[in-house]
Amino acid sequence: MSVSRSKFVGVDGCPYGWFSVGLDNCDGYEVRAFKTFRKLLAHYGEAKLVLVDIPIGLPQGEEGRDCDPEARQLLGRPRGSSVFPTPTRPTVRQAAKSPGDYNCAAMTEHRFAERCISRQAFAIAPKIAEVDTVLRDRGASATPPVREVHPEVCFWALNEGQPMRSRKKTRQGRCDRLRVLQEIKPYTQEIYDSAIDEYLRKEVARDDILDALAAAVTAKLGWPDNLRTLPECPPSDCKGLPMEMVYVVRT
């Protein structure tokens, strides 16, 4: 597999596996889909920063993560509902072993955290487990650095502290998000159109493209010293992975 020249990478899970938008130091870009997160990181081995829409630091018990309720409060209604409680590491590992068994995952979450796992979290639990395994195998000092984003937090920040009004799966929601991105990087419409043409919707959905684009723009604007975090001083989980969401304030 060739190594990309992209320096700033945004990643979102998709039906195919993982969808990425890579930006270089100028106006160059690439859109790619990968079956595994490990292959994605190998391709972007020379990147300066990879931002991915997936929980990274995971709770072990009922303590949860501070970044989740902070993001919900920041976004308010109705966008705050897109931020669901992150399941515990034992639950995501169980869900990865039995991806069709919601009841087993729910029992595991109740055992370790005394709460239920949402259907949304259960659906992406195998991807959470995949990223968790890869990052723990790499170690904390591995490059490129990989950090967590939530797309609605990214759009809130890029939209001058205003949450998006419409759902991203609606036509209006897509137009609103593309407008925000184009105001910052005019060529994002070209990137979006390129991804639409290259991949089928059963492989990469429209909102997957938007989410990866928001992450890539955030990475480029935020590197090296402009990223902010939820919470302001993020703790690490029991494996040393930060429990945070990063974003960049539009200037």
pTM: 0.97
Q: Each residue's pLDDT tens digit in the chain (251 positions)?
A: 567 899 999 999 999 999 999 999 999 999 999 999 999 999 999 999 999 999 999 999 999 999 999 999 999 999 999 999 999 999 999 999 999 999 999 999 999 999 999 999 999 999 999 999 999 999 878 999 999 999 999 999 999 999 999 999 999 999 999 999 999 999 999 999 999 999 999 999 999 999 999 999 999 999 999 999 999 999 999 999 999 999 999 87
User: Contact 124/107 with Cβ under 8 angstroms?
Assistant: no
User: Contact 174/168 with Cβ under 8 angstroms?
Assistant: yes
Q: What is the spatial distance between Cα 213 and Cα 199, in angstroms, rounded to a whole number?
A: 15
Q: Is the peptide bond before 231 cis (omega within 30 degrees of 0)?
A: yes
Q: What is the spatial distance between Cα 83 and Cα 230, in angstroms, rounded to a whole number?
A: 13
User: Contact 57/64 with Cβ under 8 angstroms?
Assistant: no
